[in-house]
Amino acid sequence: MTKQAKQKLIIRTLSVLSPLTLLILWELLARLHAIDVRLLSSPSMIVKTLIPLLLSGDLLYNTWISVQRVLWGFIAGSIPGILLGIAMGLSPFIRSAVEPMINATYPIPKLALMPLILLIFGIGETSKIFTIAIGVFYLVVINTMAGVLNIDKIYLDVAKNFRASRTNFYLTVALPGALPMIFAGLKLGMGMALILIVAAELSAAKAGVGWMIWRAYDMFDIEQMFVALITLSVLGYLFSLVLDLVERWVLPWKQTR
Partner 1 sequence: MEDCILIKNINKSFPLQDKELTILHDITFSIRQGEFFCIFGPSGCGKTTLLRIIAGLETASSGEIIISQTPKDRPVNSMVFQEQSVFPWMTVLDNVSYGLRMRGIKKAARNKLAAHYIDMIGLTKFTNAYPNQLSGGMKQRVSVARALCNDPEILLMDEPFGALDEQNRLILQQELLKIWENLHKTTVFITHSIDECLCLGDRVMIMTAHPGTIKTIINIDLPRPRDIATIRTTIGYNELYQKVWLSLKDEVQRRTDS
The DSSP code for 112 is G
Which one of 53, 82, 129, 179 is in contact with partner 1 (CB under 8 A)? 179
Judged by CB under 8 A, which of 18, 103, 165, 233 binds partner 1?
A: 165
User: Which 45-104 residues touch partner 1, going by CB under 8 A?
Assistant: none
Interface with partner 1, residue 173, by CB under 8 A: yes
177 binds partner 1 (CB under 8 A): yes
Interface of this chain with partner 1, residues 121 to 160, rule: CB under 8 A: 154-155, 157-158, 160
Q: Which of 2, 4, 15, 256 binds partner 1 (CB under 8 A)?
A: 256
Tell me the chain's radius of gyration from C-alpha atoms.
23
Interatomic CA distance for residues 98 and 138, integer angstroms: 12
Give the Cβ contact number of residue 32 at 10 Å.
Answer: 8
Distance from C-alpha of 135 to C-alpha of 147, rounded to nearest angstrom:
19
- Provide the CA 195 distance to its chain's centre, in angstroms: 8
248 near partner 1, rule: CB under 8 A = no
Dihedral-angle region of residue 91 (phi above 0 means left; psi in -120 to 50 means alpha; beta otherwise) = beta
User: Is residue 34 helix, strand or coil?
Assistant: coil
Pick the closer one to partner 1 by CB: 172 or 203: 172
Residue 33 touches partner 1, criterion: CB under 8 A: no
Q: Which is nearer to partner 1, 68 or 172 (CB)?
A: 172
Q: What does DSSP assign to residue 158?
A: H
Binding footprint of partner 1 on the chain (CB under 8 A): 154-155, 157-158, 160-165, 168, 172-173, 176-177, 179, 251-253, 256-257
